[in-house]
Chains A and B, each alone.
Chain A
Amino acid sequence: GAGVSQSPSNKVTEKGKDVELRCDPISGHTALYWYRQSLGQGLEFLIYFQGNSAPDKSGLPSDRFSAERTGGSVSTLTIQRTQQEDSAVYLCASSSLAGGREQFFGPGTRLTVL
């Protein structure tokens, strides 16, 4: 079956612009996670969804970052007023209880803020 997909694969934007990153999890996976992979910080957790609820937003670095999930499926991560330090690869993962809670990762969105 289809894996986790993310779009766009690459995004170049100017400082101060808003960006939206999309994640399509594996069908039926109720848990969805966003992570960020950057040169200076390694891999960091951003936010966790269970269904459409986000019980853990502790990794969001600032209030410029927000995320939502609709229909228990697609999730969008929005970064407002982007800064150069937001440049990173943003990764989405999904998991299910039936799958032993293994997290399956998408290919990521590479964000470059000029």
Chain B
Amino acid sequence: GDSVTQMEGPVTLSEEAFLTINCTYTATGYPSLFWYVQYPGEGLQLLLKATKADDKGSNKGFEATYRKETTSFHLEKGSVQVSDSAVYFCALSNAGNNRKLIWGLGTSLAVNP
């Protein structure tokens, strides 16, 4: 079945550092790929998405490119802020699977001033 693997955390960075959180997937067909974020004490929010190969999703300075050849969707940000401290989840959905979200385990990010 479909699955998502993302790098384990926690990740601790200093403010203005470069961030990469790796995500790879296994899926049949042509899934859509997502990054969701969960800030402390808040609910899940969609951060960005990509629906086909080579698409780049971007939001709030974060980017991720849908790479079908490497089955990856790595999250990057050039300069993190303290306010980016959160848990980040990579997920996929497949039209052939009722579009239910299949999740990675989440990566906790802490950014220190």
Q: Do A and B make up one complex?
A: yes
Q: Contact check, A105 vs B106: say whether CB atoms are below 8 A apart.
A: no
Tell me whether chain A's interface is mostly helix, strand or loop, or mixed: strand
Residues in chain A near residue B89, CB distance under 8 A: 43
B100 within 8 A of A: yes
Contact of B100 among A48, A91, A102 (CB under 8 A): A48
Q: Tell me the B5-64 residues at the A interface (CB within 8 Å).
A: 42-46, 49
- The 8 A CB mask of A36-68 against B (1 = contact, 0 = none) is 000000111100101000011001000000000
Residue A33 is within 8 A (CB to CB) of chain B in the complex: yes
Q: Is the CB of B100 within 8 A of A95?
A: no
Size of the chain A interface, CB-CB below 8 angstroms: 23
Instruction: Indicate if B99 sits at the interface (CB-CB under 8 A).
Output: yes
**A45 partner, pick from B42, B45, B46, B102, beta carbons under 8 A:** B102
| 13 A/B residue pairs, CB under 8 Å, sorted by A | A33-B100, A33-B101, A43-B101, A43-B103, A45-B100, A55-B98, A56-B97, A91-B43, A91-B44, A102-B49, A104-B46, A105-B45, A107-B43
